[in-house]
Amino acid sequence: TDARRVHTAPARTLFLLRPLPILLVTGSGYAGYRQYEKYRERELEKLGLEIPPKLAGPWEVALYKSVPTRLLSRAWGRLNQVELPHWLRRPVYSLYIWTFGVNMKEAAVEDLHHYRNLSEFFRRKLKPQARPVCGLHSVISPSDGKILNFGQVKNCEVEQVKGVTYSLESFLGPRNSMEDLPFPPAPPPGSFRNQLVTREGNELYHCVIYLAPGDYHCFHSPTDWTVSHRRHFPGSLMSVNPGMARWIKELFCHNERVVLTGDWKHGFFSLTAVGATNVGSIRIYFDRDLHTNSPRYSKGSYNDFSFVTHTNKEGIPMRKGEHLGEFNLGSTIVLIFEAPKDFNFKLKAGQKIRFGEALGSL
């Protein structure tokens, strides 16, 4: 009897160690450790010390990508379209406004009862003249948001935040299937940057704008240009907030995104809408064939669509400030374009910016 009691006690203890509690405890411990690290970084930054980015390891990225964010985002999208009872709309939207600092005085319709569901509230329009378009500068901000990074593209690497880069070719995709663009293809021996720069003496520039959940979710044309090609990358829907951008290298290359390419008066121009968690829906107003976060597309692939046809040999002309598309919730816009060497950004890293304000000019 004594021997049986000794042997059954450990078995009973092991039986209580269920996988779910272990997973919850482990995950909570890791999340707490990450929050502590972020707290230490903020304290050191207050002291004026520059903190080198600590990048996620391959196993951490793989673990994050294993989370079914695409499925969760589709579920969130359907939930957003559920019509709320009239009596529930004001408290729900008021909580969102308070949480994310939404300025409803700018909305075309301030009455919260007007919005039947969360999706309509996220995609609310602005009052006329709420965002005057700057006419003095050649490139304006296509959206509200926060400037994460900007400057010249060097060594075919682009900074998503300071010190953390991603490959230009991985982000835009190969150039060999884009012969229908109006600018001539570059010779194969050149670097990927040289394939995009079409005029001698020009440089390649980039600008990254992060849209927070409380920002205006539509985006507009940043300049006068012609869109000739669309490339859709199905991918993960990881968070793209600045903290995550400092942690995961090539975050924007992992995520679902829509790349619009074409040309403006100085050569190559592109605007990329990057998806994020709960932002599986990226809509381009003139592109009815685009379906993002769809189960028909698998990660790691891409699909192309040309706006240049036999009847339309130029593409889709866009005027500066014209409506271009919209997100659900918030995400990131990346501009990559060619311009002369004397192009100057009128920005500071980390500053808040609104649609219509100047990004830069010659």
Amino acid at position 95, single letter = L
Beta bridge partners of 274: 257, 332
Q: Which of 73, 141, 228, 331 is an active site residue?
A: 331
Torsion sign across C-alpha atoms 153, 159, 163, 166: negative
Looking at the domain assignment, is residue 247 inside a domain?
A: yes
Residue 161: per-residue pLDDT = 67
Residue 70 falls inside a structural domain: yes
Determine, yes or no, domain membership for 325. yes
pLDDT, tens digit, 9 for 90 and up, residues 164-190: 778 888 899 887 544 444 444 444 445
- The model's pTM is 0.79
Examine the domain organization and report whether 94 and 237 are in the same domain: no
Give the pLDDT of residue 41. Answer: 61
Residues 92 and 199 in one domain: no
Domain span at residue 108 reads 65-123
- 236 counts as catalytic: no
Question: In terms of domains, do 155 and 84 share one?
Answer: no
> Are residues 116 and 143 located together in one domain of the fold?
no
Check whether residue 200 and residue 89 sit in a common domain.
no
**What is residue 221's DSSP assignment?**
-
| 12 domain residue, yes or no | no
In a domain, 9, yes or no: no
Could you tell me if 148 and 79 lie in one domain? no
Task: State how far the Cα of 82 lies from the Cα of 116, in Å rounded to an integer.
Answer: 8
Residue 307 counted as domain residue: yes
| DSSP at 114 | G
The mean per-residue pLDDT over the stretch 37-46 comes to 63
Average pLDDT over every residue of 16-43: 59
Domain count, the chain: 2
Q: Indicate if 237 and 200 belong to the same structural domain.
A: yes
What is the residue whose two structure tokens read 């240049």? 308
What is residue 262's predicted lDDT score, i.e. its pLDDT? 94
pLDDT tens for each residue of 188-232: 445 788 888 888 889 999 999 999 888 898 999 999 999 999 999
Question: 123, 149, 166 — which closes off a domain?
Answer: 123
Q: Are residues 96 and 216 in the same domain?
A: no
Does 20 reside within a domain? no
* Residues 220 and 312 placed together within one structural domain of the fold: yes
The average pLDDT across 17-29 equals 57
Residue that has been written with the tokens 């998503």 in this structure = 160
Supply the mean pLDDT for the chain: 81
Q: What is the mean pLDDT of residues 261-272?
A: 95
Catalytic residue, chosen from 206, 220, 232, 254, is 220
Share of the chain above pLDDT 90, in %: 34
Buried b (16+ CB within 10 A) or exposed e, 283-321: bbeebeebebbeeebeeeeeeeeebbeeeeeebbebebb
Strand extents, DSSP E, the chain: 139-140, 145-152, 157-161, 164-167, 202-210, 218-220, 225-233, 257-264, 267-274, 282-284, 303-306, 316-318, 323-327, 332-340, 344-345, 352-353, 358-361
Please indicate whether residue 2 is annotated as part of the active site. Answer: no
Can you tell me the mean pLDDT for 294-315? 82
Note whether 357 and 241 are same-domain residues.
yes
Domain co-membership, 112 together with 238: no
pLDDT at residue 157 in the model: 80
Among 138, 144, 206, 239, the one annotated catalytic: 144
Q: Is 304 a catalytic residue?
A: no
- In a shared domain, residues 233 and 316: yes
Segment among 64-78, 82-96, 204-218 with least mean pLDDT: 64-78
Could you tell me if residue 35 is inside a domain? Answer: no
